[in-house]
Amino acid sequence: MSRRTVLKAGATLLLSVTVPLRANAAQILAVRVWPAEDYTRVTLENDTDLKATHFIVKDPERMVVDIEGLELNPTLKSLVAKIQSNDPYIKQVRVGQNRPNVVRLVFDLKEEVTPQVFTLPPAGNYKHRLIFDLYPVKQADPIAAMIEKGDWSDPAPAPAPAPTPKEQLAELKPDLKAEPREELKNELKTAEAQTKADKQGKMVRMITIALDPGHGGEDPGASGKNGSREKDIVLAIAKRLKAKLEDLPNMRVMLTRDGDYFVPLGTRVEKARKVQADLFVSIHADAFVQPSARGSSVFVLSEKGATSSAARWLADKENLADTIGGVNVKNHDKQLASVLFDLSTTAQINDSMKLGRSVLGEIGGINRLHKGSVEQAGFAVLKAPDIPSILIETAFISNPEEEAKLLDESYQNKLADAIVTGIRRYFAKNPPLAKNRLT
């Protein structure tokens, strides 16, 4: 309520007037744009929860967003410059004060989209966030897209000549001079039997591997003392690994993300199942409160609980990715979550253990192991019920020495080579067969 006060002091007349003040408007603290083929995300980080309404306008395609309780500021205006010409879905954005206390954003679109607009509470280093996720209405077939990216003319091309057991031995252990150990002999006997079957006319089918670079976009993952980010390092390693795997005959690879954008944990698993992957390999770079922690690790899913308190702690931390990265809970597929959490089978875990041992043994040749055996814990990203799945912690990014290794291209190549060899050893013992997938 206005207040008017008159004070008399000698010959001086003092007039004091108090006017009602409008409530302080919310402040936009940061704006971020994450373009990707899957979808484009626009994030407005602010100091309080915001209310927004949106609608689509046709001919040409536009999305209009009205945000209440907001005054235009330079940070919000900077959104215009953050839209790049290679963004697959947004041409440009216009920002203006539509009316007092309401800001309007107009996204000029390149094609028809299905928008998801939602808010996120503070999490990690972020305060309140208002999220715009723009998904294409016409989504590409994942297998067709993978084949196109890999330059395959046919999803099941004629197989290349199968390597002989001696050639396989040379590829698996190129520096091995002495008689191969008994375990490797058995692996090669299995491979030789498979080769004979192939020569008798059996079709060798394509092997599909899903590589999952952890974190991305809004979720940077762990960080090193020198400013390196887990999401960047693991993507670089995954791309190297993809190239090396696709140099092998009858191998194709799908990346759950091929750029800097966020992918929910359940979506990563769903992507692998859509392309009927034979293996799922999630790649991470560990961090701990003590910089002295070091070493590489391999994890698989556990039905009965974690094999150590450290494994449980790590799984809990990795499972927070959806909270940090930001999932639209209202549109979360509860049925998919139920499938992933309830139908993981003992057979899947057993196969994952075999894969994990093969890969861990090879990684141990290039880096110290944090623990000499495969560990188990309840990682959400490993819960595909029908795909052998492992999570590799490549090294501790929080350890300065290991951070330097992770940033070194030579080490990344050695690590990728070790994983490839581990995968080849796994398939030598467990030749891929035609499967009936769960749907």
Closest CA to 279 of 310, 254, 315, 298: 254
Fold match flag (28-136 vs 142-159+203-429): no
The residue type at 384 = A
> Counting Cβ atoms within 10 Å, is residue 127 exposed (0-12), middle (13-18) or buried (19+)?
middle
Pairing state of beta strands 128-136 and 279-286?
A: unpaired
Could you report the average pLDDT of every consecutive run of 10 residues in the chain (439 residues)? 42 36 73 96 95 95 95 94 96 95 96 95 94 92 72 42 45 39 50 47 76 97 94 98 95 96 95 95 92 93 83 88 88 51 71 96 95 92 92 96 96 97 95 58
User: What is the reported pLDDT for 23?
Assistant: 52
Global pTM value: 0.80
DSSP 8-state assignment for residue 290: S
Residue-by-residue DSSP string for 8-57? EETTEEEEEEE-PPPPPPB-EEEEEEE--SS-EEEEEEESS--EEEEEEE
What's 142-159+203-429's CATH class? Answer: alpha beta
Domain boundaries, the chain: 28-136, 142-159+203-429
What's 28-136's CATH class? Answer: mainly beta
User: What is the reported pLDDT for 170?
Assistant: 44
Positive/negative CA dihedral, 87, 89, 95, 100: negative
